[in-house]
Structure formats: structure tokens, C-alpha cells
Amino acid sequence: MATASPAPSGPQPSLTFTRPVFAKLSPHPYLLRTLSPDSPDQQPTRNNGRAPHQSRPIQINTSSLSQAHGSSLVRTGDTTVICGVRGELLPVTAIPQFRPHNGTLYDQDEGDEARARKELKDYDLLVPNIELATGCAPQFLPGVPPTTLAQTVSTRVSSLLHGAGVVDGRGLRVWFTPESKKEEGDMEVEGEEEREEQKPQVVAYWVLYIDLLFVSFDGNPFDAAWAAVLAALKDTKLPMARWDPDREMVVCRKGQDTRLNVRGLPVACSAAVFLEKEHGEVGRGERNRHWILLDPDRSEEELCKEVVTVVVDCSDGGETRVRSIEKQGGTVIGRELIRGFVGVAEGRWREVKEAMGN
């Protein structure tokens, strides 16, 4: 006759998980626990070991692609992006909305600079494109159309390129001065015709195709993408182009490259707001504590609904110029917090400047 085994005496062992497993099963409580330690002697930390105000180190390499006019590789934490810039010549005859240029080759006034910035936008001379490679993160699958995230980041990069005036559009013009044709006749009238014929004219533009490929993705794609674009543009050298009247086409001279004129060094700095209450539910008289997480990774972005990005440029004699402020969702970050965040962005600017070797 079988007998039942006696019940074990003493306390039952509790079910425990390792820290990585706990972080995946309950990401919000786990991050909240690390940000609000029991002991006042312990500093708040994030799952990745960083302090809330600490960004990931950034590494920047240039001239990585031999077949591009300019390129860069940027790595910040586990986010890695490659950027290649290639210029293609666009004849003015292929621009339906082209308006003849009334200036000269040597115009350096503010009016001509404003015209050049308008040409960049009207003629689509800056074309960014972003691809999130298959395998760079679990959510990016093969054989699918471009994701909303890729299109959003591409639009933001394009907007900042035009808004910050990074590229000097005057350097993308290809000029041609027709030879004067002397004919018999009145010398005074002929002289006027000669001066008219010798006036330089724009015959083509360089179009810059800026392609970005994320090799690995771990959050904060815009900051990494913008740093890669900036480094690649500063690395860009375009061939010397001229108009050949005999063949009626633009030709390039090998070995006579001209470095692209990139103005300033605007650097993007993003942060996300983590709330104590996961869905923001607070009772009357209660306060929903929050933490501002600088340079959030992918797991932190999934837990945060409010994000702010500030673009600053401190290259003008040490004076800080705010080039752009973007804010998405939430009501925590107001004017005062943004003013304080500008100082944090200045620190990030110095880190990126050092990584670029400027």
C-alpha cells in the first residue's frame, strides 16, 4: 500500500528572477525601483547604470565609405549609424521651377545668402533618407515598407538642415561665363553686348543625397542620425565642376575637390520624462513624481510619453545659440525646465565637438 510523502516543513522557497528577467517582465516597476532607492545614500540610477542626467559616450569616425563624397560612422551606446553623402549634378534645364540667377559669382551679401537658402529648399538640393536595417532591433523586420519612425526622423533631419542653415547653398552652384562674340559694327554698342555676354550664369547645382543606415538601434535615433549627418557633411568634398560649351554638359575635374562649406556645429540633445505612475493616474492632492532621462535608450523610450529635443550651437565665439526646440507629448516640461535643459545641451555639445576632433 502506497503511503503519501510527508509535506515539507519550514518556509517555501520564493520564486526569484534575475535582474535582466525582472526588467523585461515588469519594466516600469523595475526602472522605478532603480530611480528611487530606499537608502538616501544611494544615487538614482537607470537600468543601464547611468545617472538620469548622464548621456552615453559618443564615438565618431569619418571617411569610412570610399565611394562617397563624404561619410561618417557614429556610435552612441548600442546605437550605431552610418551616413554617406554623395553629390549628383542637376542641370538647371531639369528644374521646372528654376528662376535665372541675377547675381554674380562673387556675391557675398546677405541677400544672396538668403537666395541660396531658398534654392536649397525650392530645388530639393538636400535629400536625406534613413533606413533601419533588418536586425538592428527586434521590431524591424525584412520585406516591409519604410517604418513610421524612419520617415519621422528623415523629416526632422531635413527640417533641421534647412532651418539651421548648415549647408552654404552658394557652394552648390555651378557657374559658367560665356565667351564674348565680337562682330563688326558700332564699337560702343558692341561693348555693351560684350559685357552682357560675359556675365556669369548658373548652369547646374549639386544635389546632396544623404543616406543613413542604422546598423544597430538602441533608442534616441535622431541625436545619432543628426551627429552622423553633421560629421559626414563636414567630411564632404565635391569635385570641381565646370560647363563644357562644346559638349553642352557639365564635366568634373579629377583631383580638384572642394570641401563643402558647413556653417556652425549645431548639436541635438534629447531627453525623455519618466513618470512614477505608469499611466499618469494620480488622485486628488497626489503628486506624480518624474525623472528626466537624458539620451534615453530603447527600453526607456517605450516607458516615456514625453520627449524634448534641444539643438544648440556654441561655435560662435562661445555664445550659445538655440537652433531648434521640439517637444512631444506630456505636460511636465515647461519653459523653466527647457531653460535649464539648454545648459545640459551645452555639455552634450562639448562632448560631440570633442568626438569630431574640432
Q: Read off the pLDDT of residues 130-175 as tens digits, 9 standing for 90 and up.
A: 999 878 888 888 877 888 999 999 999 999 999 999 999 999 999 9
CA atoms of 73 and 176, how far apart (whole Å): 36
Closest CA to 200 of 277, 110, 105: 105
Q: Is residue 242 part of a domain?
A: yes
Residue with cell string 568626438: 355
pLDDT tens digit string along 173-182? 999 888 766 5
- Whether the per-residue pLDDT at 252 is higher than 70: the answer is yes
pLDDT of residue 236: 97
Is residue 88 in some structural domain?
Answer: yes
Is the CB of residue 106 less than 8 Å from the CB of residue 270?
no
Q: Give the pairing of strands 173-176 and 201-216.
A: antiparallel
Confidence category of residue 277, pLDDT binned at 50, 70, 90: confident
Instruction: Measure the CA–CA gap between 322 and 300, rounded to whole angstroms.
Output: 26
Q: What's the Cα-to-Cα distance from 141 to each of 33, 51, 134, 338, rounded to whole Å?
A: 33, 32, 6, 36
Q: What is the rounded distance in angstroms from the CA atom of residue 169 to the CA atom of residue 165?
A: 9
pLDDT level of residue 109 (50, 70, 90 thresholds): low
Distance CA 123, CA 271 (A): 34
Q: How many domains does the chain have?
A: 1
Evaluate whether 47 touches 28 at the Cβ level (below 8 Å). Answer: no
How far apart, in whole angstroms, are the C-alpha atoms of residue 62 and residue 245? 37
- Angle, CA 112 vertex, CA 92 and CA 231 arms, to 5°: 80
Report which of 34, 59, 2, 102 is spatially closest to residue 351, judged by C-alpha positions: 59
Residue range(s) defining the domain that contains residue 65: 58-179+196-259
pTM: 0.86
Per-residue confidence (pLDDT) for residue 8, from 0 to 100? 58
Q: Which three cell numbers stand for residue 213?
A: 543606415
355 domain residue, yes or no: no
118 falls within a domain? yes
**Three-state DSSP class for 217?**
coil
Q: Which residues contact 347 (CB under 8 A, 6 or more apart)?
A: none
Q: How far apart are CA 162 and CA 167, in angstroms?
A: 8
Which of 131, 120, 203, 214 lies closest to 161 in space, CA to CA?
120
Task: Tell whether 201 is covered by a domain.
Answer: yes
Residue 277: burial class (beta carbons within 10 Å; 0-12, 13-18, 19+)? middle
Q: Tell me whether residue 350 is exposed, middle or buried, using C-beta atoms within 10 angstroms of its C-beta: 0 to 12, 13 to 18, 19 or more.
A: exposed
Percent residues over pLDDT 90 in the chain: 58
- Contact of 279 with 296, CB cutoff 8 Å: no
Helix or strand or coil: residue 294? strand
3-state secondary structure of 96: coil
Q: Range with the lowest mean pLDDT among 52-66, 251-265, 281-295, 302-316?
A: 281-295
CATH number at residue 173: 3.30.230.70
- Asked if 295 and 56 touch (Cβ cutoff 8 Å), the reply is yes
Distance CA 19, CA 160 (A): 40
Residue 234 has pLDDT above 80, yes or no: yes
Cα Rg, the chain, nearest whole Å: 28
Share of the chain above pLDDT 70, in %: 84
Lowest mean pLDDT, pick from 8-22, 27-41, 57-71, 294-308: 8-22
Using an 8 Å Cβ cutoff, are 233 and 74 in contact? no
3-state class of 238 per DSSP?
strand
Question: How many CB atoms lie under 10 A from the CB of residue 177?
Answer: 13
Higher pLDDT, 181 or 63: 63
Q: Identify whether 137 is part of a domain.
A: yes
Q: Is residue 322 part of a domain?
A: no
Model pLDDT, residue 205? 95
| 235 domain-assigned | yes
Please say if the pLDDT value at position 120 is more than 90.
Answer: yes
More confident residue, 193 or 158: 158
Cell of 43: 544615487
Q: Are 227 and 267 in contact (CB under 8 A)?
A: yes
What number is the average pLDDT over the span 95-124?
Answer: 80
